[in-house]
Amino acid sequence: MWRCGVWAIVVLVGVPIPGWATFERIPCDAESGGVADAGTARETQFGRSFGNPAHLARALRCPLRITAARLYGMESLGWRSLWGGRRFGWGTVGAGAAQFGEAGYRELTLSASLGMARGAVAYGIRARGLVLQIGHVGTRAGGVVDLGLLARMNGRFTLGFLVSGLGPVGSGLEDTLPGPRIGLGGSMSGPGGAVAVLDVEQEPGRPRRIRFGVEVPARRGILLRAGRSTEPGELSGGLGVRVHGIGVDVAVHWHSVLGFSERVSVLLRCGASSVERR
């Protein structure tokens, strides 16, 4: 049965999507940035800020995460985000806010997420309120929904599916921003807690994007990350540290033409000093 679902998702990735809208840049944390933002199927100890909302169902903890980043060394192409969550008996909820850009062009995102699991399958939904401010054009606002799924195939492999940016966003945003992206991902756990992740993403009217990343624990509480993405072609690397309830993640992306991009995330109340996985 699950094989039929896998093939259906593969077909969907190649199908053109109607022109609904979402922000082109979803502000991700530095943990994700170290593996080239791959991780649609990646299960982590902490809930993800703006990734697959189904991650929340598998999170062991939901600390407060603060992220600051900039693209290609330009202050005008920077973002800041704040995110946190809480586990309940029936699931996990999360909420966050992010700002991209500065005066003249600014994207604001408010999000609320819910993740729930039943057996080997986890489900997630996220609502995002969007505000786009463009110089003399003015302010446009609306909202979209993201849907995610995680399915454990066996003890080491997980399949992930994500559709982000569903629904009419309102207030003219559909004329300004790209349509929804569809993503299919796989995650494989290896010896010693190492993880490899692969994502395939498709947006209407744009080349298919492939992301690949690996994370390797170097020692207790320290993780090394590396990744590669296409469209645009970038290399990435990252470092994560977890000590006494505080976590720090640093990620750097390198583009052969545009240069370096940086991200830093701080996690508060993240719990144990070692990385746990289920």
Domain ranges of the chain: 2-13+39-203
pLDDT score recorded for residue 264: 95
Task: Please name the residues in contact with 29: beta carbons below 8 A apart, sequence gap of 6 or more.
Answer: 48, 49, 50, 65, 67, 81, 83, 249, 263, 265
pTM (2 decimals)? 0.81
Residue 90: CB atoms within 10 A of its CB come to 9
pLDDT score recorded for residue 12: 30
pLDDT digits (tens, 9 = 90+) for 45-73: 787 777 899 999 988 888 899 999 998 88
Contact 41, 55 (CB under 8 A): no
For the chain, the residue count is 278
pLDDT digits (tens, 9 = 90+) for 16-37: 322 223 344 556 889 999 999 9
Q: Under CATH, what is the fold of the domain 2-13+39-203?
A: Porin (2.40.160)
| Sign of the four-CA dihedral 43, 46, 50, 54 | positive
Task: Please name the residues in contact with 15: beta carbons below 8 A apart, sequence gap of 6 or more.
Answer: none
* Average confidence (pLDDT) over 196-206: 89
pLDDT score recorded for residue 22: 37
* Average confidence (pLDDT) over 126-145: 84
pLDDT score recorded for residue 9: 30
Residue 123 pLDDT class (50, 70, 90 cuts) = very high
| 175 pLDDT higher than 90 | no
Both tokens of 113, joined, read: 């997420």
**Residue recorded with tokens 């004329």:** 175
| 41 pLDDT higher than 70 | yes
| 149 pLDDT higher than 90 | yes
**Chain Cα centroid distance, residue 174:** 22
* Average confidence (pLDDT) over 143-151: 92
For the CA atoms of 114, 118, 119, 123, what is the dihedral angle to 10 degrees? -40
* Average confidence (pLDDT) over 209-235: 92
Euclidean distance between CA atoms 40 and 53, whole angstroms: 9
| 219 pLDDT higher than 90 | no
